[in-house]
Homo-oligomer: A and B are copies of this chain.
Amino acid sequence: MATRTDAPTRREQILKEAARLFAERGFHGVGVDEIGAAVGISGPGLYRHFAGKDAMLAELLVGISGQLLTGAKRRLAEADGVAPEAVLDSLIEGHIDFALDDRPLITLHDRELDRLRDSDRKLVRQLQRQYVELWVEVVREVYPALAEPTARSAVHSVFGLLNSTPHLGRPGSLPGRGATAELLHRMARGAFAAAGAAE
């Protein structure tokens, strides 16, 4: 787990601030001058690091989708011969970590997808689809009674539940990160269980 200790590069600073601003006011609602100001340089200086405003959004969205997918794949690979319930728990945990630690990205993730160039949008959608299908397989192992379309709907809905973190008040007003993570986890499991019960 290569935890970074070195200072963030300028590119990373820009991406982080851009993500925050895009999440706050929307892609079209933020000017390049604002993004520049947020990292202490001004406007066109950004073009030394990115081809354009679109490129920043693209890199953010591809990064998010890729990170989620590779994280999930890793968790799946590590859990070999483990009970499906435990694998599902691991997926949930990973998604919650992401949703709690990178709220702006979670917000962007399903909000600004249509602002991308065709090729980038296709790539992001493909990564997202793989991520979903991976969940669907695990969910159906745990709840074999679930038909595939139903399982897919259930997965999307649980994503909606987990991605509600931006609405839960600023970090600090909450009962604490751990408690929130635990609550979300229990609710996600409860939702899946209820989905798999009848059907």
Contact = CB atoms under 8 A, between A and B. Distances in A.
A24 B113 CA distance: 10
How many copies of this chain sit in the oligomeric assembly?
2
Interface residues of A, number: 45
B26 A191 contact: no
A111 interface: yes
B194 A189 contact: yes
Interface of A: 24-29, 110-112, 114-115, 147, 149-150, 153-154, 156-164, 167-168, 174-175, 179-180, 183-184, 186-195, 197-198
Given A26-B28, A153-B175, 15 more contacts: A27-B28, A29-B114, A111-B111, A156-B164, A157-B168, A157-B183, A157-B184, A158-B187, A160-B163, A160-B167, A161-B161, A161-B164, A161-B191, A187-B192, A187-B195
